[in-house]
A = this chain, B = another copy of it.
Amino acid sequence: MQVDEPVRLPRLSRVAVCGGTHGNELSGVYLVREMLKPENRKEDGGPASLLMLLSNPRAVQQCTRYVDTDLNRCFTHATLNGPASEGAPYEIFRARELNNLLGPKGSRAAVDLICDLHNTTANMGLCFIAYSDCDWVCLHIFRHLQKQMPDTPMRFIHFDVSTKESYSLDSIGKHGFAMEIGPQPHGCVKSNIYTAMREGVQHMRDWVSCFNSGCVFEGGPVDVFTMVKNVDYPRDGETRNITAAIHPRLQDRDFCLLRPGEPLFQTFSGETVKYQGDEALYAFFINECAYYEKGIALSLARKRRVTVPSIHVQTDEEE
């Protein structure tokens, strides 16, 4: 019987942890501020250099999601490289600054790994959100956190979008993912959510140190939720105001399987609106407050099992 050799992957020399990409998602804001304190900046013995930053300082200052436009939709190739007029939104300028600092996106100069910290009002536990379901680095870090934090509900979400069209800050690193933790109201800090994020980031750093220093990580299965579609709230034809909320039987049940005919919304006059789709899918981002303006009441995903190979860092000669 043949044992597969571990896949050899390049060292992760430069890692970035970003908070405040949305200025009112406060766990990441306070965690990055804490990590930036001089007494916490001592090297942890790992060979990776760690860059920490607040992505949208103006929005953080105002405790709003963004100032002019959603920063975390500004990292497409088109927005980063198109012409920028004088009166362009602040976030477009800031996206280009961040691309210079951490990218350029798609280049050899880009940082090796970006972990971008987010909160959601949805009851999603701790999620990794990434554009690839075969980025072994992200998937191994996810497996490591699952093992280290067995009491924290944890899922891996895959947005099936091409590199060119990927739009979020983490897409400018060679590897990258958003660490999304909820439920927490925006503009609020809850200890348990903050602590989960702090532990998650520490375990990620430990994993990177261990990987760089030559540990072999055994492969295995990971359940991946691949985004299929978004569903909007029922709305008034004229005013576009929503006319229903998430049904109480679905609220807070992120990652449950939603079957055709099951309750989806409850109108403000009390009627139930059922899910009309013809495929059972997994619901997530249920009632994320910041998505009302995007026309998203919840997202739906298909689940499948991905087998992750064992990995090992490349030696200097291989690089």
Chain A positions within 8 Å of B, measured between CB atoms, are 30-31, 33-34, 40, 63, 121, 183, 185-192, 194-195, 241-242, 245-248, 251, 266, 268-270, 287, 289-290, 292-293
CB nearest to A31 among chain B residues: B268
Q: Which of B33, B194, B245 contacts A191 (CB 8 A)?
A: B245
CB <8 Å contact, A266 and B185: no
CB <8 Å contact, B190 and A287: yes
**Chain B residues positioned under 8 Å from A188 (CB to CB):** 121, 185, 287, 289, 292
**Chain B residues positioned under 8 Å from A33 (CB to CB):** 241, 268
Task: Please measure, in the bound complex, the distance between the C-alpha atom of A188 and the C-alpha atom of B248, giving whole angstroms.
Answer: 14
A-B pairs with lowest CB-CB distance, top 8: A185-B185, A188-B289, A191-B248, A189-B245, A191-B245, A187-B289, A121-B185, A34-B268
For the complex formed, measure the closest distance between the CB of A199 and the CB atoms of chain B, giving whole angstroms.
11
Task: Please measure, in the bound complex, the distance between the C-alpha atom of A248 and the C-alpha atom of B290, giving whole angstroms.
Answer: 25
Q: Which of B191, B245, B292 contacts A266 (CB 8 A)?
A: B191
**Chain B residues positioned under 8 Å from A63 (CB to CB):** 292-293
Task: Please measure, in the bound complex, the distance between the C-alpha atom of A246 and the C-alpha atom of B247, giving whole angstroms.
Answer: 30
Task: Please measure, in the bound complex, the distance between the C-alpha atom of A188 and the C-alpha atom of B246, giving whole angstroms.
Answer: 10
Question: Which of A183, A242, A247, A268: most chain B CB closer than 10 A?
Answer: A268
Task: Please measure, in the bound complex, the distance between the C-alpha atom of A222 and the C-alpha atom of B251, giving whole angstroms.
Answer: 33
**Chain B residues positioned under 8 Å from A246 (CB to CB):** 190-191
CB <8 Å contact, B248 and A192: yes
**Chain B residues positioned under 8 Å from A187 (CB to CB):** 186, 289-290, 292
Question: Which of A186, A188, A292, A293: most chain B CB closer than 10 A?
Answer: A188
A-B contacts besides A188-B292, A189-B245, 5 pairs, CB < 8 Å:
A185-B289, A187-B292, A191-B245, A191-B246, A195-B266
For the complex formed, measure the closest distance between the CB of A124 and the CB atoms of chain B, giving whole angstroms.
14
Task: Please measure, in the bound complex, the distance between the C-alpha atom of A290 and the C-alpha atom of B287, giving whole angstroms.
Answer: 20
CB nearest to A263 among chain B residues: B191
Task: Please measure, in the bound complex, the distance between the C-alpha atom of A251 and the C-alpha atom of B194, giving whole angstroms.
Answer: 13
Task: Please measure, in the bound complex, the distance between the C-alpha atom of A218 and the C-alpha atom of B121, giving whole angstroms.
Answer: 43
**Chain B residues positioned under 8 Å from A268 (CB to CB):** 30-31, 33-34, 194
CB nearest to A189 among chain B residues: B245
Task: Name 5 interchain pairs, CB-CB below 8 A, sorted by A.
Answer: A121-B185, A187-B290, A188-B292, A191-B246, A194-B268
Task: Please measure, in the bound complex, the distance between the C-alpha atom of A178 and the C-alpha atom of B34, giving whole angstroms.
Answer: 38
Q: Which of B186, B241, B251, B289 contacts A192 (CB 8 A)?
A: B251
